[in-house]
Amino acid sequence: MVIYSNDHGPPHVHVIGPDAEAKIKLAHEGARATVVSNDGLTSTQLAAALTAIDGNQALLAQRWRDIHGDA
């Protein structure tokens, strides 16, 4: 998972695989992350990424704020 320093809101991460990338929007506490775009990740890879993101939402949201502020 990657949070680019020159990226824009809303808070999201990029999941990068071999010849594939998905953009996943972070959710507020208690909600699930949502896929914004997917270019080449399999459904299995995407499901694993969503599970990992959902399990680390607080950390990822804090990292987003560290990089981008509260925007």
* pLDDT tens digits, 29-67: 778 999 999 999 999 999 999 999 999 999 999 999 999
Strands (DSSP E) found in the chain = 12-17, 20-25, 34-39
Domain regions of the chain by residue span: 12-68
User: What distances in angstroms separate CA 63 from CA 13, 21, 27, one per listed residue?
Assistant: 10, 20, 14
Name the maximum alpha-carbon separation found in the chain.
32
Provide the terminal-to-terminal Cα distance of the chain, rounded to the nearest Å: 20
Quick one: pLDDT at residue 71?
56
**Higher per-residue confidence, 18 vs 40:** 40
Residue 18 has pLDDT above 70, yes or no: yes
